[in-house]
Amino acid sequence: MILSPAGLFRQVNFVKGGHTMKRGDVSFTFLNRIEEVELNIKDERWQSALALALTLPDICGGIAFPDIVKRYRDGRVMLDRQKNPTRDVGGQYIRWFDEYAGDFFKVSSKDPVPYICGERCWQLRCEYLHQNKGFLNDVTESSIHFHLGINCGTSVCQLDESNVQNGLTDIRIDIEQFCLRMCRAAKKYYYDVNKEKDFSLYNTPVLDFIQTKKEFRSNPLIVVMCSKPMYANGLSMTLKQISTQILICQAAEEARKNLGKRKPAIWIVTEEMMEQQDQPWRSGINRPVIILTRDIEKDYQIQKTDGKLTVLSFPIQPEVLRNAVKLYLM
């Protein structure tokens, strides 16, 4: 069979929407974060467990209290570069801990107050993650010193009281118990509100680049620039054996709009499109282009890296086109 405007047999569906990399998308969710804290505890990786556990109220506070924002002295709301209200992360953190986590940090359920409050937990978070100051071996002007311990038993550290001497407060914390209690508090909050709150906003975007590359190679985005719908559909049907992501465009602006920020693996351009101005496939000297033309000897004045431009004669055998595309995807 030869592909030409005449002799095409049926309409072919093509991909026009957004690009979803299912295999390559391994973003970390909120529950993944809690699970990783627990795994670090199991492996006795105390520094990692504590660092990650201290970030849980950051996320929960932002979800629970989005209206707690930074303000100027005159009461005006501070805006970020996107003109959105700036989070008061500390305020959110402290309030969430006091309202949702405090009960988990009581040494006994009968205790009127938790062993550590939201303000002190926020201080621990800042000092441990950013400065590593405020601990027993550090001489600072702070009136609060944290003492971290391991293997302290089942209580917060079997030291149920803060020692206050000479105006200094010593807070002793068993890392394992602290992390376990924080995980329990975060889990309870998640399961209580996840149906009404969007935790996905705080997912950590992560791509598995090996899988993404496989996805790119096995199901690449191919853009067909062709002003003749029947011929374009014939090309799409031919390329269906290579990819399900075939985007057909009849004009440069249409291509830009439908692509958005996506980058096609290869452009296929028919000769009548060569006359249109400001074609997106002309930019990017390393992006492969296949031109289909009746005048194979014509010099089209296209700037591409050597080996990134192929000119094929039209009409064309389907297998010839597929082989040309496959060469660029190897």
Q: How confident is the model at residue 262 (pLDDT cuts 50, 70, 90)?
A: confident
Report the pLDDT averaged over residues 176-187: 95
Amino acid at 309: L
Range in 36-50, 188-202, 207-221 the model is least confident about: 207-221
| Burial bucket for residue 268 (CB in 10 Å: 0-12, 13-18, 19+) | buried
Q: How high is the pLDDT of residue 3?
A: 47
Q: What is the pLDDT of residue 277?
A: 76
Q: Determine the Cα–Cα distance for residues 299 and 192; give it in Å rounded to an integer.
A: 67
SS3 259: helix
pLDDT category at 215 given cuts 50, 70, 90 is: low
Does the N-terminal peptide bond of residue 57 adopt cis geometry, omega within 30 degrees of 0? Answer: no
**Dihedral sign, Cα of residue 69, residue 67, residue 89, residue 123:** positive
Q: Can you give the residue ranges of every domain in the chain?
A: 30-202, 209-329
Report, as an integer, the average pLDDT of 241-251: 90
Sign of the C-alpha dihedral computed for residues 99, 105, 110 and 111 taken in this order: negative
pLDDT of residue 163: 53
Cβ(67)–Cβ(91) under 8 Å?
Answer: no
Tokens of 131: 């400065």
Section 68-80 average pLDDT: 92
Mean pLDDT of 237-250: 90
pLDDT > 90? residue 298: no
- b/e string for 82-105 if b means 16 or more Cβ within 10 A? eeeeebbbbbbbbbbbbebbbebb
pLDDT tens-digit readout, 6-38: 333 322 332 333 333 344 556 789 999 999 999
Q: What is the CATH number of domain 209-329?
A: 3.40.50.2300
User: Over 60: is that where the pLDDT of 214 sits?
Assistant: no
pLDDT tens column, 98-152:
999 999 998 878 888 888 899 999 999 998 998 766 555 455 556 777 888 888 7
Q: What does the chain come to in residues?
A: 330
Give the mean pLDDT of 49-65. 96
| Integer Cα distance of 321 and 4 in angstroms | 13
252 pLDDT above the threshold of 90: no
Instruction: Check if the beta carbon of residue 200 is closer than 8 Å to that of residue 280.
Output: no
pLDDT of residue 154: 54
Average pLDDT (216-227) is: 82
So what's the pLDDT on residue 29? 92
Residue 82 CA: distances (Å) to CA of 71, 85, 179, 202, 203 = 16, 9, 35, 18, 20
| Listed range (60-69, 122-131, 153-162) with the worst mean pLDDT | 153-162
Question: How many angstroms separate the CA atoms of 77 and 98, rounded?
Answer: 24
